Amino acid sequence: MAQLVCRDLSLGYGASVLVSGLNFEVNAGDYLCVVGENGSGKSTLVRTMLGLQPPVRGVAAMEEGLRADEVGYLPQQTAMQRDFPASVREVVLSGCQGRCGLRPFYSREERRLAEGAMQRMGISGLARRCYRELSGGQQQRVLLARALCAARKALFLDEPVSGLDPQAGMEMYRVIETLNREEGVTVVMVSHDVASALKYASHILRLGEAVFFGAKEEYNREYQERQGVRS
């Protein structure tokens, strides 16, 4: 069942088109890694699929009952976001806002959810700390915990291991894999780490001069064929 559909999709800003004619679907439970060179439109694609910016042409739509308040999103951080003056617990709890509806407060269940997300990310001991006082890696864990609070059906991540040491990066990948395989959460992840993408993903979307979309096994075959042609 397709949860996300892109049809004849062109991405860019104004008259500047980064990529055109994208056609693909992301089904419930898929783990899609988006790879490509810098400037190929990876982050722009994620923002377009989330409805945060309009496409140049074509359609990017959520389907099969998927709603925006069921999707978690971990974007790349800006300098302003790194200096956010709130406690870790407050930042993580803010991921539950989509669940609150018109309530001006968090329920006991939502607070338990936030505590569980902090525990999963190993940041429970930082709950009272000010977010802007944390290291870059710690902040990334906080933001993923926040995204987990919103990710009832799908999780979008833009370079989630950025700023993490290799061990912390592997732990992050394992958390994402558990969400996907054991809890059925659909994952769409932008990554420069193609090796890890091939290890964990079910599908690969490569942007750039030679656009590719398909299962990772197909990507491996296509990659080997391209390498053979070059040699």
> CA-CA distance, 174 to 191, in Å (whole number)?
15
Range of the domain at 1: 1-66+153-231
**Average pLDDT value for the chain:** 87
Mind listing the pLDDT tens digit for each residue in 88-137? 999 999 888 877 766 778 889 889 999 999 998 889 999 999 998 998 77
Nearest to residue 213, comparing CAs of 57, 5, 13? 5
Please tell me whether residues 187 and 122 are part of one structural domain: no
Share of the chain above pLDDT 70, in %: 93
Q: What is the pLDDT of residue 231?
A: 47
Please tell me whether residues 27 and 128 are part of one structural domain: no
Quote the pTM value: 0.86
Last residue of a domain, one of 152, 169, 188: 152
Q: Which residues contact 38 (CB under 8 A, 6 or more apart)?
A: none
Last residue of a domain, one of 152, 170, 191: 152
Mind listing the pLDDT tens digit for each residue in 2-17? 899 999 999 988 778 8
Bigger pLDDT: 224 vs 211: 211
> CA-CA distance, 3 to 98, in Å (whole number)?
19
Please tell me whether residues 157 and 231 are part of one structural domain: yes
Please tell me whether residues 91 and 43 are part of one structural domain: no
> What phi and psi, each to the nearest 5 degrees, are found at residue 22?
-75, 135
Last residue of a domain, one of 102, 132, 152: 152
pLDDT tier, 42 (very low <50, low <70, confident <90, very high otherwise):
very high
Please tell me whether residues 58 and 159 are part of one structural domain: yes
Please tell me whether residues 97 and 123 are part of one structural domain: yes
| SS3 at position 39 | coil
Q: What is the pLDDT of residue 80?
A: 58
Please tell me whether residues 110 and 127 are part of one structural domain: yes
Number of domains in the chain: 2
